[in-house]
Structure formats: structure tokens, C-alpha cells
Structure 1
Amino acid sequence: MIIYTNSEEETIHTAEKFAAGLTPGDIVALYGDLGTGKTEFTKGICNYFGVEEIVTSPTFTIVNKYNAKINKKPLTIYHIDLYRLEKEAELLEIGFNEYLNDDEAITIIEWSDRTNQIPTRSIKVKIMYKPDEDDFRIIEIIHPELEEIGV
């Protein structure tokens, strides 16, 4: 599925609609160059689930944990940023596999292209832009279940 947005607000709104299809245990793998809107997309997902904390890119903390709700029940959202990842071994240090295998949380990973440990069951979101059009974004969503049936 390909979606076009023309502002940060539209990107956030698109992510809010996308989030309606997420359930605990889902992993969202975000791909895109610096400044394409990966964190804005994450903000939209967090908005949908009622996160009250300020959503920022965890570039230096590596992982942010947000308290959310789904159907009035508590939900954890892990927001992981692999931008500063230098070695795959660092993933063990941050407990990467535990985040990926938490069936009661939604895990969002920025800079997913920095590792080959992204599970195939992840929903891939690729965000691209045209250098001459500041706010225009092309968002490609690749869902593994749709790939299995050839969509």
C-alpha cells in the first residue's frame, strides 16, 4: 500500500489510521533517511493509543517506553532507534530480543535497516521524500500477511 502525504500533520494522521490495525505483539519496522518522518509516524501511532508522554526519537537513549491503552487496558509501546548502532552485539546489550518477543506490547523500530534481526513478521513502513518538495512524503506499508497472499 502506498500513501502520499503533504505535511507533518498528514503523516501523523496517516499513522493514527494505520495504528487502528495494530495489536499487542506487533512490530513496526520503520525505514527512511534522516528527516523523512519516522518519529512523526511514531507520534501518530502513539496518539492513537493515547500516549500522554512527549514522543521523541530515542537516538541517545536507544529505547523509549510509553504507557498506552488498547480497549481501555494498559498497553506498552517500545520505541527503539537503531541510528547509533555500531555492532549487532549491541542489540543483546539493550535486550532487543525481549522487546521483539513481548506479545503484550507494540514495538516500533526506527532505522530498521541497521540490523538484519528484524523479524519477517514485522510490518514494514518505508518513508521517502523528494528533496525538492519539503513536506511531501511517500509512505509504503508492507504487511507480511498481505505479502503471503500476493497483495
Structure 2
Amino acid sequence: MVELTFDSKSVEDTNRLAEQVARIVQPGDVLALKGDLGAGKTTFTQAFARALGVQERVNSPTFTLIKEYRGRIPLYHMDLYRLNGEEEAAALGLEEYFDGEGVCIVEWADRLGEALPKDVVHITMEETSPHTRRIRVWGTDGPGCDRVKELLEA
């Protein structure tokens, strides 16, 4: 396992981390975002999308579950807050996105359980005060681990 822990003192700090991650991702990468409501998952995603060159307004696809955006790499933004378990996840056909030509960013990724690929970049956000976050970025296998190594070198 490779891990990076980052203490964000502002939205700008979180945005800079998202921009760094966007610079190193490759088609087929999956970012698994985890954290409580208000932890900063959507804020991270918005900065990540801007860094990929997405021109559209990015917001949380809570009611549609998945939104697709065009950038230097296609971006598949998933918000699984309303997902009711692994069986419902299987019915969505998410593996087509995970194996696709773009990068997937999955808010509430823990709701996928075993349906989440093993080689993802895990990003856990914890609110430490109203304006600060502890962000843990880690990977255990394959591309997820490789991307975190690249992030540490950047």
C-alpha cells in the first residue's frame, strides 16, 4: 500500500490537491471518494474536473447517479449517496464506466462494496474543523498504487 496524508487548511488547498491528481490520471483510472456529508467530495470533484479541462458546471449527480463530461480525458462523475446496496450497483452497469476510455470519480464509493474495483485511488476526506480537512490518498494495487506513487513524487 502507498499512502499520502494531506491536511487541507482551505478550499484552495483542496483544489490544489485535486489539480495535482488530475495531472497524473490516465484513462481507466477510478477515484473512490469517501467522507461524511460536507467533507468536500464535490468540491474536490469540481476542481478535478476544471483541471481536466471540463468547461461545464460540475455539480453532484445525486438524483441521476452518473454524469459524463468532456475534458482532456472523459470524466464519469458518480454520486452513489442514494444507492441501496451492491445489488442495485450491479444493475447500473458501472463496470462499463470503470473499464471505459475515461476516468471515473465516485462519491460515496464505499456504497459499492465488492463491486468497487480493487485497483482504485482511494481518497478519504475527514472534516477536522469547519474549514479544514484531513485528506488521505492511498492505493493498494495496480494503477491506484501507481498513481499515488506519482502523486508523492510530484
* Global fold match (TM > 0.5): yes
Corresponding residue of 1:115: 112
Q: Distance in 1 between matches of 2:42 and 2:56?
A: 14
What SS does the corresponding residue of 1:89 show, helix, strand or coil? helix
Secondary structure, counterpart of 2:45 in structure 1:
helix
Q: CA deviation at 1:57?
A: 0.7
Q: State the aligned residue count.
A: 140
For structure 2, the residue ranges without an aligned partner over 5 or more in a row are none
* Letter of the structure 1 residue corresponding to residue 96 of structure 2: E
The CA distance in 1 between the partners of 2:33 and 2:85, in whole Å, is 19
Of all paired residues, the percent bearing the same amino acid is 36
SS of the residue aligned with 2:85? coil
In terms of fraction of residues, the more helix-rich structure is 2
How far apart are the structure 1 equivalents of 2:139 and 2:112?
19
Letter in 1 for 2:41: K
Aligned match of 1:106: 103
SS at match of 1:141: strand
Say yes or no: does 1:9 pair with 2:6: no
Q: Which residue of 2 aligns with 1:47?
A: 50
TM-score by length of structure 2 reads 0.85
Q: CA RMSD in A?
A: 1.7
Q: Indicate whether 1:19 and 2:33 are aligned.
A: no
| Per-residue deviation, 1:21 | 1.4
Report the alpha carbon displacement of residue 8 of structure 1 after superposing the two structures with TM.
Answer: 1.6
Structure 1 consecutive aligned stretches of length 4 or more whose deviation exceeds 4 Å = none
Structure 2 counterpart SS, 1:4: strand
State the Cα deviation string for residues 68-102 of structure 1 (Å, max 9, x = none).
01xxxxx2100001100013222233221111111
Aligned pairs for 1:2-151 (under 5 A) are 2-69=5-72, 75-102=73-100, 104-116=101-113, 117-130=115-128, 133-144=129-140, 145=145
